[in-house]
Amino acid sequence: MQQKDDAAAPATKQDLTKLEQTVNAHFVEVFKYMDRRFEGTDAKMDRKFTEMLEQISVLLETQKHDIISSTNDKISLLDDRVHRLEVHTGLVAA
């Protein structure tokens, strides 16, 4: 008795090989598309990373100067206070 429905027939090695080739061809196309889609992304990411490092460097340098300036201001205020106390008490700090 002959089968009428080909879809119900078991797959042969030849069928599986053809399916594998078709799937592989689709994967190749997908990877080619992805390569085209993301072409240059590495260079863009490198530029952005470099820009971020430069911005962080500027920020840190600004913070460093602010801290140094603030510390110098506090030292100056303390020196003034010590001087006033010395004048007021008539003693000289060692």
State the Cα torsion 10-16-19-25 to the nearest 10°: 180
Q: Is the overall model pTM greater than 0.85, yes or no?
A: no
The range of the structural domain enclosing residue 36 comes to 14-89
State the total domains in the chain.
Answer: 1
Residue 8 lies in a domain: no
pLDDT of residue 9: 82
Residue 5 lies in a domain: no
pLDDT of residue 2: 53
Angle at 50 between CA 39 and CA 40, to 5 degrees: 5
Residue 69 lies in a domain: yes
Residue 94 lies in a domain: no
pLDDT, tens digit, 9 for 90 and up, residues 36-87 = 988 888 899 999 999 999 999 999 999 999 999 999 999 999 999 999 998 8
Residue 3 lies in a domain: no
Residue 18 lies in a domain: yes
DSSP string, 41-66: HHHHHHHHHHHHHHHHHHHHHHHHHH
pLDDT of residue 91: 84
